[in-house]
Amino acid sequence: MARDALAERPRTFQDLILRLQQYWAAQGCVLMQPYDMEVGAGTFHVATFLRAIGPEPWRAAYVQPSRRPTDGRYGDNPFRLQHYYQFQVVMKPSPADFIDRYLGSLASVGLDPLVQDVRLVEDNWESPTLGAWGLGWEIWVNGMEVSQFTYFQQVGGQDCKPVMGEITYGLERLAMYLQGVESIYELVWSDSEHGKITYGDVYHQNEVEQSRYNFELADTTELLRQFEALESECTRLLEAQSALPAYEKMLRASHTFNLLDARRAISVTERQRYILRVRTLARGVADAYLKSREALGFPLLKKQAL
Site residues (vs another protein, CB under 8 A): 1, 3, 77-79, 93-96, 99, 112-122, 124, 134-135, 137, 141-144, 151, 153, 160-163, 165, 177, 264, 267-269
CB-count burial class (<10 Å; 0-12, 13-18, 19+) for 303: exposed
Taking the C-alpha atoms of residue 56 and residue 288, their distance in angstroms, rounded to an integer, is 15
**Shortest distance, position 97 Cβ to another protein, whole Å:** 9
In this structure, the chain runs to a length of 306
Backbone phi, psi, residue 62, to 5°: -165, 160
- Under DSSP, is residue 275 helix (H, G, I), strand (E, B) or coil? helix
Looking at beta carbons only, is 137 or 274 nearer to another protein? 137
Task: Write the single-letter amino acid at 66.
Answer: S
Looking at beta carbons only, is 165 or 284 nearer to another protein? 165
**Shortest distance, position 145 Cβ to another protein, whole Å:** 9
**Shortest distance, position 6 Cβ to another protein, whole Å:** 12
Looking at beta carbons only, is 37 or 144 nearer to another protein? 144
How far does CA 32 lie from the centroid of its chain? 13
Looking at beta carbons only, is 64 or 127 nearer to another protein? 127
**Shortest distance, position 207 Cβ to another protein, whole Å:** 17
Looking at beta carbons only, is 94 or 168 nearer to another protein? 94
**Shortest distance, position 174 Cβ to another protein, whole Å:** 12
Contact 245, 237 (CB under 8 A): yes
Contact 176, 13 (CB under 8 A): no
